[in-house]
Amino acid sequence: CMKKFFDIKIENEENGITIKVPQSVEDFYDAGAELKHCIYTNEYYDRKNSLLLFTYKEGRIVETTEVNIKTKEILQSRGMKNKDTKYKGFVMQTIQQNILPLIR
Protein backbone atom coordinates (compact mmCIF):
# COMPACT_ATOMS: atom_id res chain seq x y z
CA CYS A 1 0.00 0.00 0.00
CA MET A 2 2.80 2.46 0.84
CA LYS A 3 4.97 1.64 -2.19
CA LYS A 4 3.25 4.21 -4.38
CA PHE A 5 4.29 6.88 -1.86
CA PHE A 6 7.97 5.87 -1.57
CA ASP A 7 9.18 8.95 -3.45
CA ILE A 8 7.59 11.41 -0.99
CA LYS A 9 10.30 13.37 0.74
CA ILE A 10 10.19 16.89 2.17
CA GLU A 11 13.43 18.54 3.24
CA ASN A 12 13.75 21.79 5.14
CA GLU A 13 17.38 22.87 5.16
CA GLU A 14 16.62 25.80 7.47
CA ASN A 15 15.76 23.58 10.43
CA GLY A 16 17.52 20.37 9.32
CA ILE A 17 14.27 18.38 9.14
CA THR A 18 13.42 15.72 6.56
CA ILE A 19 10.04 13.99 6.37
CA LYS A 20 9.84 10.84 4.27
CA VAL A 21 8.12 7.52 3.81
CA PRO A 22 9.98 4.53 5.28
CA GLN A 23 11.35 2.30 2.54
CA SER A 24 11.46 -1.09 4.29
CA VAL A 25 10.26 -3.14 7.23
CA GLU A 26 13.77 -2.68 8.63
CA ASP A 27 13.09 1.08 8.77
CA PHE A 28 10.13 0.34 11.06
CA TYR A 29 12.29 -1.88 13.24
CA ASP A 30 14.96 0.81 13.52
CA ALA A 31 12.39 3.53 14.29
CA GLY A 32 10.76 1.39 16.96
CA ALA A 33 14.10 0.64 18.59
CA GLU A 34 15.29 4.25 18.45
CA LEU A 35 12.07 5.91 19.64
CA LYS A 36 10.87 3.12 21.95
CA HIS A 37 7.68 2.72 19.89
CA CYS A 38 5.48 -0.28 19.05
CA ILE A 39 5.59 0.72 15.36
CA TYR A 40 7.40 -2.50 14.43
CA THR A 41 5.98 -4.96 16.95
CA ASN A 42 2.41 -3.87 16.10
CA GLU A 43 3.18 -4.20 12.37
CA TYR A 44 2.35 -0.65 11.33
CA TYR A 45 4.13 -1.45 8.04
CA ASP A 46 1.21 -3.75 7.17
CA ARG A 47 -1.73 -1.53 8.14
CA LYS A 48 -4.41 -1.02 5.52
CA ASN A 49 -5.17 2.57 4.53
CA SER A 50 -2.25 3.93 6.55
CA LEU A 51 0.68 5.95 5.33
CA LEU A 52 3.56 6.28 7.76
CA LEU A 53 5.95 9.20 7.60
CA PHE A 54 9.20 9.42 9.50
CA THR A 55 10.70 12.74 10.53
CA TYR A 56 14.46 13.06 10.81
CA LYS A 57 16.41 15.91 12.39
CA GLU A 58 19.93 16.07 11.02
CA GLY A 59 19.77 12.39 10.03
CA ARG A 60 18.31 10.99 13.29
CA ILE A 61 14.70 9.88 13.54
CA VAL A 62 12.72 12.09 15.92
CA GLU A 63 9.07 11.45 15.11
CA THR A 64 6.70 9.05 13.34
CA THR A 65 3.37 10.12 11.86
CA GLU A 66 0.43 7.99 10.74
CA VAL A 67 -1.96 9.29 8.07
CA ASN A 68 -5.21 7.64 6.98
CA ILE A 69 -5.00 7.63 3.17
CA LYS A 70 -8.77 7.34 2.75
CA THR A 71 -9.75 10.30 4.94
CA LYS A 72 -6.45 12.23 4.60
CA GLU A 73 -6.46 12.62 8.37
CA ILE A 74 -3.36 12.65 10.56
CA LEU A 75 -4.10 9.94 13.13
CA GLN A 76 -1.04 10.33 15.33
CA SER A 77 2.39 11.87 15.42
CA ARG A 78 4.76 10.81 18.18
CA GLY A 79 8.37 11.12 19.25
CA MET A 80 10.47 9.31 21.87
CA LYS A 81 8.35 6.98 24.04
CA ASN A 82 5.19 8.27 22.27
CA LYS A 83 5.64 11.80 23.60
CA ASP A 84 5.12 14.97 21.58
CA THR A 85 8.24 16.56 20.16
CA LYS A 86 9.14 20.21 19.78
CA TYR A 87 8.88 19.63 16.02
CA LYS A 88 5.29 18.34 16.08
CA GLY A 89 3.66 21.61 15.00
CA PHE A 90 6.06 22.02 12.09
CA VAL A 91 5.67 18.35 11.11
CA MET A 92 1.87 18.46 11.19
CA GLN A 93 1.73 21.69 9.17
CA THR A 94 4.25 20.40 6.62
CA ILE A 95 2.33 17.15 6.15
CA GLN A 96 -1.01 18.97 5.82
CA GLN A 97 0.32 21.47 3.29
CA ASN A 98 2.76 19.37 1.27
CA ILE A 99 1.94 15.69 1.61
CA LEU A 100 -1.83 15.31 2.08
CA PRO A 101 -2.51 16.98 -1.30
CA LEU A 102 -0.39 14.25 -2.97
CA ILE A 103 -2.59 11.44 -1.63
CA ARG A 104 -5.12 10.26 -4.17
pLDDT digits (tens, 9 = 90+) for 4-59: 899 999 999 999 999 999 999 999 999 999 999 999 999 999 999 999 999 999 99
Q: What are φ and ψ of residue 35, in 5° steps?
A: -100, 0
Predicted pLDDT at 2:
67
pLDDT of 95 higher than 90: yes
CB 6 within 8 A of CB 21: yes
Predicted pLDDT at 37:
93
Distance CA 59, CA 17 (A): 8
Distance CA 71, CA 61 (A): 26
Find, among 89, 92, 47, the residue nearest to 70 by Cα.
Answer: 47
- Per-residue pLDDT, averaged over 74-86, amounts to 96
CB 82 within 8 A of CB 37: yes
